[in-house]
Amino acid sequence: MKNIPTSPRQLVYMALTLFAPLLLTVALICWAPAKPGQTQADTLVAAGVVAGVVLLFAAILAVSAMRHAIDITPGALVVKHSMYTLTVNRADVTSVTVQEIPAIADARLSTRKNGTALFGYYSGWFWDTRGGLTFCAVSAHPIYMVTLEGNAPCRQLVLSASPEVARAIGAWGA
């Protein structure tokens, strides 16, 4: 099992995106004038609900940040990234081409099918400009584009990996 590198800067951006609206909500709860008939218990219930949502978002962010691995076995290639998993059986692949790309824009992604795209962090399923399905697991540089020929669930995999892992994926498909 090999790890996909993560960028701490991207995790900070994601945390800000998740928590900024909650901070505004907390500010409204704490500093908004009380309505007629509102009690201290009402304010505490509202604060409790917001605290629960904050904990839920923190758990989602933690799980997303910690789940990033590539497992290469003779029978399958399994990529786990954030909440998404791609499994490619070796029997479904006739050839594999691996090339480093300088930026995610070179993957020619067009729209998100089921995934997350945020501040250079791409995780999940995307359509490319040619209408093909692409699985992304990008969270840092270097970025590799893996083209799969055969009956794989997608024709293209874009991922963050070390050069050693990229070579191992190429050897797996040879």
The least confident of 69-73, 89-93, 118-122 is: 118-122
With pLDDT > 90 as the criterion, what percentage of the chain qualifies?
30
pLDDT tens, residue by residue, 127-166: 988 888 999 998 888 999 999 998 888 889 999 989 999 9
pLDDT tens, residue by residue, 74-102: 999 999 887 888 999 999 999 999 999 99
Task: Return the bridge partners of 168, or none.
Answer: none
Residue 56: band (very low, low, confident or very high) from pLDDT cuts 50, 70, 90:
confident
Higher pLDDT, 174 or 135: 135
Residue where the block lists tokens 């399905």: 133
Closest listed residue to residue 109, CA positions, set 88, 86, 133, 87: 133
Amino acid at the residue 101 = I
pTM: 0.73
Query: How many CB atoms are closer than 10 A to CB 10?
Result: 17
- Is the pLDDT score of 1 beyond 70? no
The least confident of 7-11, 29-33, 100-104 is: 7-11
Residue 169: band (very low, low, confident or very high) from pLDDT cuts 50, 70, 90:
very high
Which residues fall within 8 angstroms of residue 111, CB to CB, at 6 or more apart? 126, 127
